[in-house]
Amino acid sequence: MDRRIHERHLAHFQVRLTDLASPDVSASGQGIDISDSGIGVYLPLKFAPGSVVELNINDTSLFGVVTYSAPERSFFRTGVEVWQVLIGRSEMAELFKAILQEAMPNQQLEYADTPQSR
């Protein structure tokens, strides 16, 4: 039985996840799905549920908390509940913004403050 609250949309993108309490704990991985409340990723190391993290996708940053991390195949399937999104200024960020607006319609998306916009 599937107990998911929100529908997941398949995705394929490179990510970097960093534990904000221990910035030296960081890993690159693969985004696998997006739902209304968060993002699923495959990572080479386990992040403890409850860890407050920053997830970087190109020049876009998402902040949230790890809700799930369990071995799957040769990786750790990790779920991140997204609390804040800071969109970058690149063309890729604009494409990702459109994806997030569709998959996370209740999430407020803000533009990151970049040196060019100051």
Q: How far apart are CA 53 and CA 47, in angstroms?
A: 9
What are the pLDDT digits (tens) for 36-70? 889 999 999 999 999 999 999 999 999 999 999 99
Note the pTM of the prediction, 2 decimals: 0.86
Distance of CA 10 to the CA centre of its chain: 13
Q: Assess whether pLDDT exceeds 60 at residue 1.
A: no
What is the average per-residue pLDDT within 66-92? Answer: 95
Q: Write down the pLDDT at residue 5.
A: 55
**CATH topology (fold) of 9-108:** Thrombin, subunit H (2.40.10)
**What are the sequence ranges of the domains in the chain?**
9-108
